[in-house]
Structures are given as C-alpha cells and as structure tokens.
Structure 1
Amino acid sequence: MKRRDLLLISLLVAAHRPQLLQAQPIKGKIGYLHPVTTDPNHITFSVLQREWRRLGYVEGETVLTRSGEGEPQRLPELVRDLISNGIGALIAVGAQAVRAAAGVTSSTPIVAIDLETDPIQTGLIRSVARPGGNVTGLFLDTPALAAKWIQLMREMVPALDRVAFAWQPSAGRSQLDVALRVAENLGVETMVLEFSVNDDFPRLLSTISGPKRTGIIQLSGPGITPVAEKFVAAATQNNLPTLSFLGEAARRGFLMSYGPSQKDYFPRAVQLADRILRGEKAGDLPVERPSKFEFIVNLRTARALNLTVPPNLLISADEVIE
C-alpha cells in the first residue's frame, strides 16, 4: 500500500474517532441510592430515570436501585450491596446517602446529589474545580440561595416578624448554619423548627403560630416532596406562609419556591456517572453547580392566607399556579 493511501486512511479514522468513541458499549453499572424511596413517581427518580434511559441504561441490568426506606442505619449496608453487585459509579441522593457512601468506600466513584452539604468544609472534595478523590456531583451555593429565600419571604409578607427554618437534623447542619448566618447579616429574627417527615404537622406547626408573623423556609432534606401537601395544609391552617427550594413543593401547595430546576439540573448526575463509566475519573470531574433557577408562586395558597402577591413577584415568577 502506498504511503499516500496510508495517510488518507489515518486521516479518515481520526475524523471519525469521536463517533467511534460515542458508539462504544456501556461498560459497568450505575448504582442509585436514596435514603427514603425508589418510587418511580418520586421527582428525583423520575427525572434521573428519563436521563439514564436516554443514555441506554436499563433498570435491573445496568442500573441498580436501592432505598433506605427512611432507615438511615441501613444505608452503609446498601452501599456495600451495590458495590458487591458490580456498580462502577454510585449516584447517592441526599446528605445521609452521600455520607454513608463516602464512609464505606474511598475507591468506588460517588456522584452526589447533595443540596444540604458544603462539600469542601465537610472534606468530601478538595475543590469545586478538581474534587481530587472519589466524590463529585451536584452541590449548591447555599449562601446566595438563603439570601434570595429571605428576600422573597420579606417581599411576599411585608409584616413579617421572623423566619422559621424548617430543618431535618438527619440532613446535617451545613445548610442550616449558612442560612442562620445569612439571616443574622440581614437583620432577620430566626428560629429553627426541627421536623421529620413522620411528624404530626398540625401539632408541630401550631407551636409557632401566634402574634408574631412567621414565615417558614423549608430547607433541603430527604423525603420532603411526598409529604408536601400535609406540611402545607398544616401551615395554612396556622396562617403560616411557606417557601421551599423545590419547585415540586410549590406545585403541591407551598406558597413559593425558589431553587434549581430539577428537570434541568438533576440529569447532570447521570451524565457524570456515564462519563465515569466511560473512563473518566471522579476526582477530575468538576462539581456541577446549577445554572438555571426557577421561582414559582402559588396563588391558591396566597388567597388561603389572605395575602396579596406584589406585582413585581408575579412578573418575575417563572410559573404562577392559579
């Protein structure tokens, strides 16, 4: 074969190399660990499911799912079970699952969906740009979010006296401590309302109703979405305006929500896991911050609370629920 022909063949192979790489078969399995549920109707599961199916993964074959069913002590055992079943990357949802996974393995790549934790402060990663170990994933810039939450609550409720941060201790203190510092810097009176998803919400929320006009900002934590209706019903009964970081919570009755768009942000966890299975290292993949946020206002809930939504909030809302 002439040298000219060899050179032509080499150029053709090089030109098509990206397509050849993309056509490579999936190598390995993705593990999915949630502290509460693997219900396909749960917002996190359903959003991720669409993405892994789009990329060619199949539940029970190349995706293995496990849930702690609300029992956090089971999470380390479930991590070990997934590893023993040959996963090459683990998507861990929530601070509890991420802590459990990081405590079990320092070698299996972990892709976190952790909206509660400061990953540098807690030692999960070395830096956002280059995590350095076996953990990467989705983490929030909590200080900026907390300031926005307080601003929105003040605008919605001009007579606001204080903010109650509804906090699940199981989520860890990172997000709570940041929110309290931000509120202090803004001169806002605060209180901490500890709760779990199994609480008696009417009884719990009646303890903070009274002469002080209190707005509830619900911090991130596992299993919030399925109990959103119960939580907001008790809050409305006690004349307490509510704000969540999850858009789904506003669609289920919360007065407002402001946070990352789950359908745009969460699929990136699957994309990171896919890149790891195709040969990249977790420690080399930068942490993914959300680029799109959504603000939702629920007018039905505003009417139930006898609140008039300021026009500027209606104009700035990405979605208004009539």
Structure 2
Amino acid sequence: MTHFAVRRLVLGSVAAIAALTAASGVHAQNVKTVGVTAIVDHPALDSVRKGVQDELKALGWEEGKNLQLSYQSAQGNTATAGQIARKFVGDKVDAIVAIATPSAQAAVAATKSVPVVFTAVTDPVAAKLVKEWKTSGTNVTGVSDRLPLAAQIDLLLRVKPGAKRVGFVYSPGEVNSTIVLKELKAELGKRGMSVVEAAAARTVDIPSAVKSLVGKVDVIYTTTDNNVVSAYESMVRVADEADIPLVAADTDSVKRGAIAALGMNYYDLGRQTGKIVDRILKGEKPGAIAPEIGSKMSLVVNPGAAEKQGLKLPEALIKEAAEVVK
C-alpha cells in the first residue's frame, strides 16, 4: 500500500470515528433521564410508579432508547430520601418524580432547578411543596391523592351503621396523616362522632397502636399513611381477632384484609402523573403547570374480610363496587 493510500485510510478512519462520536453525542442528547424516588415500597406506591412508567411508554418514551429511568426507594428512612434526591440532582436528571410526601419534601429541599413532580401527596400546600393550588412559578408541580372526607365517613357508616368512635392509627411525623387527622376530627364532629387516635412513629409500632384501640372504637379508618400501609397485615390480624371493622382509603388495602375502600386508583394516579412528566420532558416548565388532584376514584369491597371482622356487607354496597375481592 502506498504512502498516500495509507494516509487516505487513516484520515477515513478518523472521519468515521468522528462521525460515530457525533452521532453518539446526538443520541445521548436525545435521551431524557428521570429519577423516581419513593419513601417506601408498598402496593399503593408501587402502583403509582407502574402507572408513571406505563404512561411514559404510551406517550413514546422507551427505556433504553430515548429514556433512562432510575428508581430508588428510601425504605422508610427520611435521611435516605434526602440522599437519593441529592444523588439525582448530582446526576443532572431531567426530572425527579417523588412518590409520597417525605420523598417529595426531600426532593424539593435538594434542588431549586431540577423539575420535581410530586405524586401521592395529600396536601402539597401544607407539606410546603407549593404555596398554593395554582401554577407555582418554581421547579415543582404534581398530582395529589387528596380524598373528600365526607364520602369516606358515609362509607364508614354504611359498613358500620351507628358507629360513633372511629379509630385512627397514624404516623405523627407524616404530614399527610396529621392533616387527615385534623380534618377527620372536624368532619366527624359535625356528625356527633369522634376520633380515637393511636400514634405509631415506626412500622414496628403499628401492632401495639392497633391493639390500644380494642374496646375503645366501633370501626378503624386507615389512610395511605406509609407506615400503616407497610404493616397492614398486622392491623388486619388485630381487627379480625377483635371483630373491629377496618375501612381504608387505599383500595389496595382491601385486597390485604380491609372490608372496603372508596379511594384513589393509584395506578391511574401514576398515569396522570406520567402525563405531567411527559409535558416537562417535552419542554414545558413545571412552574407553569398547576398541581392536580387525582381524577379517578373507585369503591372496592371484601365480603370475606367483613365476615372475619364480625359483619355482613349490605348487598347494595356490594353491587355498587367497582371490584369485589373474593
């Protein structure tokens, strides 16, 4: 091979490498990165995450092609939630999806520039994620799982007519739950009913908190408190043994032993959240997107759980249910 042929081959190789590098760079620029963080793994929050992933896929975001999605669970530890949020910020992700209030608070504390989309947060204003239920002008927006409490109490009374004392197990460190407790007291008071509260700071405290309600309440109402949902089976055991009806705000809890729930469909909540993430990945500013409330609720009942807890569900309630757990 002549000197000129060798030189031409080398130059051609260099040009080819440069072209590949440029193409790779273009491809990398077209790949969006999303960090998903949840305070803990449990069915409701897992459903939210699945909904987000499915909605993004339906809108054309394919992992490994134009989307890189990372998931981290804080395993119930708020300090870990902070570490995860800071890692995502350091990785310069295009958006952070924060599932449940503690993870959302950690993400908002970690950055004022990376878009944060909260989800499964009852009251983003009280949690200080946004100042009001309007466009924030900041890097934060999202979807709330706030439920109208009047309808929840109506359900309690259909399950246990004449109930006066409502047991409420909650985590005092979780803003979602303390807000619901305050509102529950006010709403029950209007009907001549009262709350008997049992605080449980950690998941391991749930069984003793539930046992403290035995003999003091007519029914127990549970929300999407992350500690409570994580240890739900321990609540069910006590309710079954003591014949205390267990009514939930989380439809997934009905499959685990609650009698009934009129609650947010958390998978659909995730799909709704995914639509907002899509808008941000396509260039919209989170501060120009007003926070939303989950738009789909459903009634789920479990007649078998009712029998274990000393009740028979009204046929009318069973017929109204979107799902009857067998």
TM-score when scaled to structure 2?
0.81
2:163 equivalent in structure 1 = 160
Letter in 2 for 1:107: S
1:215 equivalenced with 2:227 (yes/no)? no
Normalized per residue, which structure has more helix?
2
The amino acid across from 2:100 in the alignment is G
Taking a change above 3 Å as real, the CA distance of residues 233 and 59 of structure 1, as seen in their structure-2 partners, is: farther
Which residue in the other structure is 2:173 paired with? Answer: 170
1:278-321 CA-to-partner distances (Å, cap 9, x unmatched) read 10010111222222210111000111122121233223221122
Please report how far the alpha carbon of residue 41 of structure 1 lies from its aligned counterpart in structure 2 after TM superposition: 9.9
Deviations 1:86-143 (A, max 9, x none): 21111101110111111121211111113332x234442244342322111111444x
Give SS of 1:309's match.
Answer: coil
Aligned to 2:18: none
Q: Are the counterparts in 2 of residues 91 and 270 from structure 1 also a CA contact under 8 Å? A: no
Cα distance 1:165–1:238, how it changes in 2: closer, same or farther (>3 A)?
same
Confirm or deny: 8 A CA contact 1:35 1:94 kept in the other structure: yes
1:107 pairs with 2:113: yes
The corresponding residue for 1:132 is 137
- What pairs with 1:1-322 in structure 2 (closer than 5 Å)? 27-37=31-41, 42-54=46-58, 55-58=60-63, 62-117=68-123, 119-142=124-147, 144=148, 146-172=149-175, 173-195=178-200, 198-199=203-204, 201-210=206-215, 212-222=216-226, 224-322=228-326
Q: Residue type of the partner of 1:130?
A: T
**Structure 1 residues 239 and 115: CA distance shift in structure 2, 3 A:** farther
In the alignment, the residues of structure 2 paired with residue 183 and residue 176 of structure 1 have an alpha-carbon distance, to the nearest angstrom, of 10
CA–CA separation in structure 1 for the residues paired with 2:206 and 2:218:
16
**SS of 2:182's equivalent?**
helix
- 5+ residue gaps, structure 2, are 1-28
The whole-number CA distance in structure 2 between the counterparts of 1:160 and 1:31 is: 44
CA distance in 2, matches of 1:302, 1:206: 19
Cα 1:250–1:97 shift into 2, 3 Å = same
309-318 or 105-114, larger mean C-alpha shift:
309-318
Q: Give the residue type in structure 1 aligned to 2:167.
A: A
Computing the radius of gyration over CA atoms, which structure comes out larger, 1 or 2? 2
Instruction: Give me the identity figure in percent.
Output: 22
Counterpart-to-counterpart distance in 1, 2:277 and 2:49: 15
Contact 1:125-1:136 within 8 A present in 2 as well: yes
With 274-283 and 177-186 compared, the bigger mean Cα shift is at: 177-186
Deviation for aligned residue 1:203 = 3.4
Q: Distance in 2 between matches of 1:109 and 1:255?
A: 39
Q: CA deviation at 1:38?
A: 9.0
Residues 164-203 of structure 1: CA distance to partner in whole angstroms, max 9, x if unpaired? Answer: 1221223212232222222222321112122256325543
Relative to structure 1, is the Cα distance of residues 263 and 305 closer, same or farther in structure 2, using a 3 angstrom cutoff?
Answer: same
Change in 2 beyond 3 A, CA 1:302/1:80: same
Structure 1's 284 and 27: CA in aligned 2 closer, same or farther, altered over 3 A? farther
Q: In the alignment, is the contact (CA less than 8 A) between 1:176 and 1:219 conserved in 2?
A: no
The 10-residue stretch of structure 1 (151-160 or 169-178) with the greater mean CA deviation from structure 2 = 169-178
Q: 1 CA distance for matches of 2:45 and 2:126?
A: 33
Residues 94 and 171, structure 1, Cα contact 8 Å, conserved in 2? no
Cα separation, partners in 2 of 1:201 and 1:84, compared to 1, 3 Å: closer
- Give the match's secondary structure for 1:307: coil
Task: Report the CA distance between 1:223 and its aligned residue.
Answer: 5.5
Shift in Å at residue 227 of structure 1?
A: 3.0
> What do the CA deviations read for 1:231-272 (whole angstroms, capped 9, x no partner)?
212221122111122111101211111111122222121221
How far the C-alpha of 1:52 sits from its partner, in A, is: 3.3
Q: Which amino acid counterpart does residue 152 of structure 2 have in structure 1?
A: W
Distance 1:93 1:220, change over 3 A: same
Structure 1 unmatched ranges of 5 or more: 1-24
Q: Please give the alpha-carbon distance, in whole angstroms, between the structure 2 residues aligned to 1:236 and 1:294.
A: 24
Structure 1's 269 and 59: CA in aligned 2 closer, same or farther, altered over 3 A? Answer: farther
* Whole-Å separation in 2 of the counterparts to 1:257 and 1:197: 24
Q: Which whole-Å CA distance do the structure 2 matches of 1:192 and 1:82 have between them?
A: 37
Q: Is the 8 A contact 2:47 2:270 kept in 1?
A: no
Equivalent residues, number: 294
Counterpart-to-counterpart distance in 2, 1:303 and 1:241: 9
Alpha-carbon distance change, 235 to 106 in structure 1, aligned in 2, over 3 angstroms: same
